[in-house]
Chains A and B, each alone.
Chain A
Amino acid sequence: MKEFKFDTLVIGGGSAGMAAALEVSKRGFSVAVAERENSMGGILNQCIHNGFGLHHFKEELSGPAYAEKFIDMVETSNIEVFIDMTVMDIEEAGDLKYVYGLSRITGMIKFSVKTVVFANGCRERNRGSIGTPGTRPSGVFTAGLAQRLVNMEGYIPGKECVIVGSGDIGLIMARRMTWIGAEVKAVIEIQPYPAGLTRNIVQCLNDFDIPLYLSHVVGDIHGKDRVESIDVIPMENGIQQKDKSFNIKCDSLLLAVGLVPDNELAQKIGISISPETNGPIVDRQLMTAKNGIFACGNVLHVHDLVDFVTEESERCGNYVADYLDKKTPSDQFRTLPGKNVKYIVPNFYSPSEENKFYLRTMIVKNRAELIASVNGKEIFNKVLKHIQPSEMISFDIPKDSVHISDCTENTLEVRIV
């Protein structure tokens, strides 16, 4: 078994992993990236539609084009990339971590590293997660799998499809399936409002006359071998109206019902996971409860824009370098989600630094106010034009906004009213 030594091993060569690795490398440390696919880029590779990069590159790019900009940077850096490599296990050994990764070409490799960055993204929720009853025929795909079959392999996974979930992935797939000659009979959304961006409702559904059923759920799947039809049930005041259910004939069902950070490895070594984000609990430096183990991107919490993943991961890369330079702020206190807030990341802040936060709200509202307070004392507020659960909110609290000297309990609570 071969053994390699690096300052940092980044698990995952998608948008998060590449951005983090580049920053660590720029600061003069040795970095390796373990990527399980045969090229870097992650899920961006199958997202051939436009809309990426408006924040980060100030231009509109396709997923592969966004990825390629980073791939080019990684390829001209000193970063060692191990493709086709799956990380199997992590062990802690004093200040070091042993990470075991294997590939067809290298066999099993033992990486002996000072720091590890989890940047291995998220997975799709599926039929089991939403508990859709009925038969179990072929033809029920997660939207991401369908996207991969269409965009990477050139396959048509069905001719008459229904899409569950009106998040951006569901909407993009509705348009994609139409373009490859399938009939999209409906998009079903459990909430009374669409989950995706307005521009995607217009460009992906309205332009193709695809009906969107808000406040509806799939009640049953029919078909023995292949999907034959589904029952759709309207909801009123959050209750299924089974007597008003109707049937849609279709041969495939695409599930775009949310994403979950993929934290199997982190859990295996005892890193505590936040029940709100399903990602690790991290400090202000995006370090997990285990020293030297960091997380960024969709493995930490699910982002809606890749630009935010890049921003967070570049910061993470610098925090890793700070850690390797032994420059970590020592004064850290908890952050807590308050009223109408689902979660706030990171789970700690440092009063002596500028702090950047990502937050997800639980309500839909125009002109909402975000208020941060320490010990009941308001220290920051921001007016937000429009908020909804599917759109992540980011904000910065400037350095020295909190004067903690007279406080014993310095938890920062963020609420939305």
Chain B
Amino acid sequence: MNEKIFDVAIIGAGVVGASIARKLSSYNLKVALLEKECDVSFGVSKANSGIIHGGFHHGSEYLKSKLEVQGNRMFDQLEQELHFPFKRCGIIVAAFSIEEMKTVEQLYMNGISNKVVGIEMCNQRRMLALEPKLNTDVVGGLYAPAGGIIEPYRFVFSLVESALKNGVELFTNFKVVASAENSGIYEVTSEMGNTIFSKWIVNSSGLFADEISTIFNAEKFEITPRKGEEFLLDRNSAARTDHVVFPVPDSVSKGILVIPTVEGTTMLGPTAIPQKSKEDVSTTSINLDMVFSSARRMVPSISQRDIITSFTGLRPVLKGGDFYIDISSKQPHFIQVAGIQSPGLTAVPAIAEYVKDLLKKDGLILIEKSSYEPSIEKVPRMRTLPPEEADLLIEKDPAYGEIVCRCESVSEAEIIAAVKHGHTTLDGIKFYTRAQMGRCQGGFCTDRIIKIIQRETGLSYEEITKRGKNSWLIKDRIGELKVNSYRGIQ
């Protein structure tokens, strides 16, 4: 039981909820961030393409276009403050026929109407000069230099860390199942029977925004999950491009992309398949073949040999295709932030501003906090340090001298930092540090990470999970057998 009354409770700690929480943490407010999973960014935000879009896929009549262009411009400052991996590598759209070039022209017009800076139409020669790995059948395309790539989960982790530093309270494993309103105060109850009280509610619960809206007796709408399967290629793949490469979009999606991820791997995808289940994140072999043939049409050197893993993300799609961000007309002090699919990640800094303004309009008093500290501490990454700096760092903290994940060169100190910031599952540590994310996929480091989690948290081996709930790793211990070092059983 938490008797404190919050000013704002944000439901859902994905990238949308985390951005809003951080924005609100700059004011004198009591803010709660509620998450049903055991860690933040474990829903839609953990499995997406990580693209900072170029502002040309939709016209200016859409709210999402306006927020996309605004959001895009805010990332440089955010990166300075929050140190997440981000790069403006530029986006190209490759056309393979005269008909496709007509669509490209439309995209260019969209970009112009959205006031995108630097966007250009490209002939074949220009396309191949920009991206020599493109199929030489390309006839032309579009170039948007302001587009880029980001590690989406690291972005969320940083946003939450910053929000917590500035006083936001995070409640994980808090799946909202009931609410009651009493003289302007919402009582919000979790599946495990915990409650919090809050004056305002922000519904940023991604795939479940429709269900949360129903729980609060607010607007009725339906979120349809749309599956996106992605494939990750080894960082040594010869097919790694310099830019994000898009095909010409169709009516359903932006198509299968080739994405040079900000951390050096290459990602292919996503598919776009509507489905009923909000839980089904399985991959299928038919779609694997489809993704590869589509991606290879643009970049022929892509090879299935280079696959290190695949995964599925779900887009929270709302009818009409635009974002739904508004003050509820059915419930007081209730803000809807729903249907945030692509380009949601790009738009999110602007969404946070927009929601802040809606809250203000709805009567929330915003007084800037004098103690607000926008920056968080930067955790050094051994992989990127020159030898001299690495040596000095190990002298200060020897845990930097212990490389736990050999594929991505992640040190023990980075894993300890992940645990200290509340990421105590294998997936949480993976997203924070990249350990287990390389070509061996945890084959060599999982046992070492299990040991570090145990030592740093006091959890016993059977309490350690891949991502909370029933995702246990170890069932039991072998009798009294004690095994250590190369000398075998003692």
Contacts and interface: CB of A to CB of B under 8 A. Distances in A.
B130 interface: no
B390 A153 contact: no
A154 interface: yes
A399 B464 CA distance: 59
B365 interface: no
A211 interface: no
Contact of A142 (B281, B390, B443): B443
**Best-surrounded residue of B446, B484, B485, B488 (most CB of chain A within 10 A):** B488
Given A62-B488, A64-B487, A264-B407, A105 B398 contact: yes
A225 B391 contact: no
Most interface-central of B284, B308, B387 (chain A CB within 10 A): B387
Contact of B441 (A126, A149, A264): A126
A129 interface: yes
Interface in A194-210: none
Contact of B474 (A128, A133, A156): A156
Chain A interface category by residue count: 35 or more
A134 B282 contact: yes
Contacts of B284: 133
Interface in B254-294: 279-285, 288
Interface string A331-346: 0000000000000000
Interface in B467-488: 467-478, 481-488
B387 A1 contact: yes
Contact of B309 (A71, A127, A150): A127
Contacts of B474: 149, 155-157
B354 interface: no
A135 B406 CA distance: 26
A301 interface: no
B443 A138 contact: no
A154 B288 contact: no
Interface in A355-409: none
Contact of B311 (A136, A137, A155): A136
Contacts of B444: 123, 145
A133 B461 contact: no
B135 interface: no
Interface string B297-320: 000000010011111100000000
A153 B281 contact: no
B381 interface: no
A68 B477 CA distance: 26
Contacts of B402: 84, 103-104
Contacts of A239: none
A128 B447 contact: no
A149 B484 CA distance: 11
A41 interface: yes
B309 A45 contact: no
Contacts of A108: 387-388, 390-391, 394, 401
Contact of A136 (B281, B307, B461, B482): B281
B175 interface: no
B399 interface: yes
A390 to B, nearest CB: 20
B285 A131 contact: yes
Contact of B283 (A126, A134, A157): A134
A48 B401 contact: no
Contact of B394 (A104, A151, A154): A104
B447 A149 contact: yes
Contacts of B279: 224
A64 B488 contact: yes
Interface string A22-51: 000000000000001011110011001000
B434 interface: no
A135 B472 CA distance: 15
Interface in B393-417: 394-395, 398-399, 401-403, 406-407, 409
A180 interface: yes
A267 B304 contact: no
A100 interface: yes
A153 B454 CA distance: 13
Contacts of A126: 308-309, 440-441, 443
A153 B443 contact: no
Nearest to B292: A131
A102 interface: yes
Nearest to A106: B401
Interface string A92-130: 000000001011111110100000000000011011110
A48 B482 contact: no
Q: Tell me which of B310, B312, B465, B481 has the highest count of chain A C-beta atoms within 10 A of its own C-beta.
A: B310
A155 B461 contact: yes
A155 B478 contact: yes
Interface string B437-453: 00111111011001000
A47 to B, nearest CB: 10
A234 interface: no
B232 interface: yes
Contacts of B441: 126-128, 142
B482 A102 contact: no
Nearest to A153: B447
B466 A154 contact: no
Given A103-B402, A129-B307, A68 B236 contact: no
Contacts of B1: none
B489 interface: yes
Given A103-B401, A123-B439, A264-B407, A131 B310 contact: yes
Contacts of B489: 48
Nearest to B441: A126
B238 to A, nearest CB: 11
A225 B467 contact: yes
A44 B486 CA distance: 8
Contact of A88 (B409, B469, B476): B409
A180 B478 CA distance: 7
B308 A128 contact: yes
A305 interface: no
Given A64-B486, A103-B402, A153-B447, A137 B466 contact: yes
Contacts of A100: 387
Contacts of A139: 473
B236 A267 contact: yes
A154 B488 contact: no
A226 B475 CA distance: 11
A150 B478 CA distance: 8
Nearest to A227: B471
Contacts of A65: 488
Most chain A CB within 10 A, of B441, B446, B461, B465, is at: B441
Chain A CB within 10 Å, residue with most, of B285, B288, B388: B285
A269 interface: no
A89 interface: yes
Smallest CB-CB A-B distances: 3 pairs: A138-B466, A108-B391, A86-B403
Given A126-B441, A153-B447, 17 more contacts: A88-B403, A103-B402, A104-B402, A107-B395, A123-B443, A124-B443, A126-B308, A126-B440, A127-B309, A128-B309, A138-B473, A145-B447, A149-B446, A153-B450, A155-B474, A156-B477, A226-B472
20 contacts: A64-B487, A64-B488, A86-B409, A102-B382, A102-B390, A102-B394, A102-B401, A104-B394, A108-B390, A126-B309, A128-B232, A133-B283, A134-B282, A135-B280, A138-B465, A138-B466, A138-B471, A142-B441, A154-B481, A156-B476
